Structure 1
């Protein structure tokens, strides 16, 4: 049973007991790249880094405290949110509440630590720039949107990362890190009653000031088909990127259809990626896209998709493409093809299997609850959407993908 309640200061708390001896504690904040502005592009991610540095009132560093009791911790920043998690033995669950309550208001932002984290984030930026897949997907996002906040990568812009001041980002932190802009999720061996007690103990006295990071969903840019050809560096493998503008979670019916399409076209995908960032997925041999390899049109096929609040890009990357225009046409044919009864049955079974796997894990289920609450105001809605994706028929599939194919970007890199 999922318990949902709200503290007087606006903090939403979601608690779900599972008969296991570990507990996952998440703090989700409704702030990410969508909230950034000129001068602080990449700031949400840099703030996340700073919140693993000195936090006033803690008796040690986050890593020392968590690892000292055999736990695991992480944080991740997205277009729409920033999240922090501790997975702890149940008897040490209170430590997670203490860390997250102090992280919400007591991050020190020491100047020396800030400059060190700036260098670390800039090194991540360099790593991304050295990855041709990242560069191509970034180019696609610049084509897909004119002014939309998804236009830039979550890592941000180099100039902004170089110039943003400690004080500017500290103000950004104070603006969005507050109870009313947060969701606390507790899943695992802790009872709902104990989770309620600890949430009140550690968060109940935090003031309700600050702003909401919520935005109204909107879109701009890409309305047709775009084809771009770029020169590959001499030591890089030629490749083809094909992307389609797809519905975000604000469009519940569109997301339901997209989930089925993904499992038909790409064959399989985890709904949440545990505690790590999403990466392009090598499609399995059972997928439609693998026919590109079987037909000798490319050496390998990867796809990339994640649930975002607003419309985003569904990306397919094919390596060592022999005839780019032929492959573009073939990919569109594969997506548009009406699925057989057996194909639909296999895709729906994979959806059910993936969902069952996610719901058996406190860390994965906690992530689903948090995203669902942030995106749709109900921690159970995302599970419901995934379940309803298995009720779609072949005609609804075809009608959905026909609309997607009209907004696409193809980037040939050779």
Structure 2
């Protein structure tokens, strides 16, 4: 019986991988430039309507940070046909859920409804693009909402500004040097006309990708898409050019103070390629090898065995133009920054010198495949992935092919990525310290 159960579990897992690698979709462009992606799945009677705009915090002007994230909030204020405060009520009263999120590179809005409400989802998202209400009442209201979000998630949370410290120190020219939520001073000083100009510049048909995923009739969906989105006048977003960073050739060290912590943290960070680069895949695998779970190299050594760290992590944060590879450690007992750095450097040196074992490599591949399956395990995840691969990677087909890129990364590739990007002279060390009150 146990063999049967194990065989069934393996078969189910293998089937999931095969399914994840063969997500069928169609894509085309409307006459006005909106890119449309359709994925049908009749497994459950739900459908997700998602719209991704290729605008994030990197598109903001110096002195006006936080605009992209602010619009994530502002565009729930309504339209001439959706009263202020009614957006989420309409969604929930029709059995749906909705949300939005912003990164440095894009903004994404979505609704998931019972499949008989696809038309409602398409209409609502077209209202957001066609004629949202952007007025002083909405701006003033959302200013306070964003301020509270920043207070709760960053300024009042222990270690809440780790990403702020990383971006400020790894980037000096590129707009990745500020976080997505931006500066509250910038938001406070911005005028209503500036918000309207930002919408006009970036919420254009040429900058829009619409995804419909789930249980729907393709012909009917196509008609509704042409009705609600195809009739929006064509508009274009100018091509953005971003300042390039000079290579880091000398080590740098800085200090960031956090009044919400009692224990210091240390960051050892490197600027690496963006996620379109194949080497970024190797770096993601290295981060999983070093700290992906309690059986990982750094956790077993520094936390479990030697008790030198309370927490430790190696993270490869993918961005469109660059990436961030960072080690994070909170010391335990008598451990110091130098002790943690020495142990982390030792593991980096091993990666740069020796190939990982066959057993560790197989384990790493299994971990990556599991993450890949989980990312596309439901309709909302598939919709988000389809939009992301088109907008940020320039290739929607990666939803089926990306796992093959990971599988093609050899142990030698891992070693070369460590040698090329994790050099001591290319490192920024950040002492993230308690601020004495």
Structure 2 CA distance, aligned partners of 1:46 and 1:235?
28
CA 363–349 in structure 1, closer or farther in 2 if over 3 Å, else same: same
Secondary structure in structure 1 of the residue aligned to 2:269: strand
Find out whether 1:93 has 2:102 as its counterpart: no
Aligned-pair CA distance for 1:239: 1.6
Aligned to 1:115: 140
Question: Aligned runs of 1:186-335 on 2, under 5 Å?
Answer: 186-212=212-238, 215=241, 218-220=244-246, 222-229=248-255, 233=259, 236-251=262-277, 253-267=278-292, 284-290=293-299, 291-294=301-304, 295-321=306-332, 322-335=335-348
Q: What displacement does 1:155 show? A: 0.8
- Following superposition, the deviation at residue 148 of structure 1 comes to 0.5
Give secondary structure in 2 for the equivalent of 1:390: helix
The alpha-carbon distance between structure 1 residues 239 and 69, as it changes in their structure 2 partners (threshold 3 A), is same
Aligned residue pair count = 397
Q: 1:383 to 1:145 in 2, by over 3 A?
A: farther
1:137-189 Cα distance to aligned partner (Å, 9 max, x none): 32222221111010001111232111001221111111111211110011111
Unmatched 5+ stretches in structure 1? 268-283
Q: Deviations over 1:212-231 (max 9, x none)?
A: 46556943463342233456
Contact 2:291 2:312 in 1 (8 A): no
Report what 2:184 is aligned to.
158
Moved more, 82-91 or 31-40: 31-40
1:38 Cα deviation (Å)?
2.4
* Matching residue of 1:280: none
Among candidates 372, 375, 378, match of residue 392 of structure 2: 375
Q: How far has the Cα of 1:29 moved from its partner?
A: 0.3
Q: 1:195 to 1:315 in 2, by over 3 A?
A: farther
Moved more, 198-207 or 352-361: 352-361
Structure of larger gyration radius: 2
Computed over aligned residues only, the root mean square deviation of the Cα atoms, in angstroms, reads 2.2
- Please say if residues 90 and 189 of structure 1, whose CA atoms lie closer than 8 Å, have aligned partners that are also in contact: yes
- Point out where structure 2 has 5 or more consecutive residues left out of the alignment: 1-23
Counterparts in 2 of 1:88 and 1:220: CA distance versus 1, 3 Å: farther
The answer to whether the Cα contact below 8 Å between 1:141 and 1:150 also exists between their aligned partners in 2 is: yes
Match for residue 57 of structure 1? 81
Is 1:413 the counterpart of 2:423? The answer is: no
Structure with bigger helix share is 2
| Residue 55 to residue 222, structure 1, CA distance change in 2 (3 Å) | farther
Alpha carbons 1:245, 1:311 under 8 Å: kept: yes
Q: In 1, Cα distance between the equivalents of 2:185 and 2:53?
A: 25
The answer to whether the Cα contact below 8 Å between 2:298 and 2:312 also exists between their aligned partners in 1 is yes
TM-score (norm 1): 0.89
User: What is the TM-score with the length of structure 2 in the denominator?
Assistant: 0.85
Counterpart Cα distance in 2 of 1:340 and 1:206:
56
Query: 1:248 deviation in Å?
Result: 0.8
Inter-partner Cα distance in structure 2 for 1:83 and 1:364: 12
Q: Residues 60 and 68 of structure 2 are in contact (CA less than 8 Å); yes or no, is this contact kept in structure 1?
A: yes
Give the conservation status (yes or no) of the 8 Å contact 2:389–2:397.
yes
Q: Name which of 47, 50, 69 aligns with 1:26.
A: 50
Q: 1:413 to 1:201 in 2, by over 3 A?
A: same
Are the structure 2 counterparts of residues 187 and 215 from structure 1 closer, same or farther at C-alpha, using a change threshold of 3 Å?
farther
1:37 equivalent among 61, 75, 95: 61
Distance 2:173 2:296 in 1: 35
Shift in Å, 1:94? 1.1
Quote the residue 1:70 is aligned against.
Answer: 95
1:12-23 alignment runs, 5 A limit: 12-19=35-42, 20-23=44-47
Q: Determine the C-alpha separation between the residues in 2 that align with 1:234 and 1:77.
A: 25
State the alpha-carbon separation in 2 of the partners of residues 192 and 358 from structure 1. Answer: 24
